Each structure stands twice: as C-alpha cells, then as structure tokens.
Structure 1
C-alpha cells in the first residue's frame, strides 16, 4: 500500500513540472557588482528550489511585479541559488545568514533586508524601497 502511494506521488511530482524559478536574472559572480557599478538598484533574492518559504516569496514578488511593471523597468532583480552560492564572496560580504533572504542594494549601501519573511506587505515595502531608490 505504501509503495503504491509513493509511486503515485512520485509520478504526480514528475508530471507537475519544475518548481518555480526565482523571479530574477540568475546570479553569476560579478553580476551584482556590475549592476551596481552601472547605477542600478539591485533586489537580490537568495533562494533554493526546495525551500517553501522561498517559493512563497517568489509568488509574492512575481505577483507584485505583475501588478506594477515599474518594478521590472527600474530595478534589477537577481536570483542567487543558495545551494550553489552560499559561500560566494557576495553572500559573505552581505553577511547573508540563510536562504530566503531578500536584500536591496544601491551604490555601496544596503537599503533593506528581509530574512524568511513572506508577508505581502513586508515584501511590497522592500520592493517599494528599491523602486524609490531607482527612480529618485
């Protein structure tokens, strides 16, 4: 009985398709510094594919971007896969404590941060901070 349940669950998961990707450009070393040097405001999302908190954040960020295209037009969104880049210079220099961390950067300053927060109002406030800095 348990074997059948496992096999059905595994098949359903495989057919469901891939997990949502984080709603930003995939991080490569130097990308954030390049965007900052170009004068952009950068919204950095440290995520993993298997993290339920990260998926909740991703859904909220995507919904907010759909509601207000100014976010995408003015802010550079960068997604950092924590499983790959947790020991990167970027993660170390920003003292990122864990996956599901969202950070807004402009120039050489951190403008805001959320660690493991999923409330829409909180994420919107951080995105509004990024948009405000980008359009000031």
Structure 2
C-alpha cells in the first residue's frame, strides 16, 4: 500500500494505544458488567480527579482500553441507539458461548440486533446497564 510504513499505518501516524471513553451515571453497575461478568481486567481506577471518578478496563493482551467516568454533578449520558456497538470478536464459538453463559447467569439475555448482519455471522447482542450494546461474534469475519 502506497504511503504507509511496514506496519500498515499511514506515514506519521504512530499510535501506541487506543482508549474509548464514555460517561455513565451507573459506574459501579457498568464496572460489574464489563469486569465482573464479561471479564475485562481493571487496569486503573481513580476517584475525585477534578470531580470525576472512573475505571479503565483492558482488552486482554492489547493496548485497547475502555474507560468509564462519572462526574460528581452527573454525567451527560445521551440514550444510545441500537447501533452504538462495542463488537468483540472471539477465536471460536466455545469461547463466545462461555461468556454468553456467564451473562445469562448474571441475568443478561440477548437482545435483537438492529442490523441483520450480526445474526448472519452468528453474533449475539447484549445491553450493558446504560443500554449500550455489546455484540459477541464467534470468530473474526475478515
């Protein structure tokens, strides 16, 4: 590919880490969902940092993180749409269904995906405590 280095990144874009952050008014519930049920490790937790509390969760073996924050005055959390998705691709159905069983044991049932594409690749969709959707896909699709 023209104009890229050997790692496939455009010239000058040397990203070493990615973090996706969003606010929540249900910080403890969100942490239980992502860390306790899904199993993402807690990398860092902070309290009263300029009025913010938060938790950073890691995706195992990667430099990709999720951060959830809550502000002392409340966190603006617009209602998500059915297409606001965090998509987790597993390395096989067995690994995905282990998580599906943990989710069910914790009282989380699949919801219908807005986009029929996900059902076509064998994915299941769940909602987190804020209503944001997590899609579990049994294997990478590309």
Q: Give the alignment's TM-score, normalised by structure 1.
A: 0.27
Greater fraction of residues in helix: 1
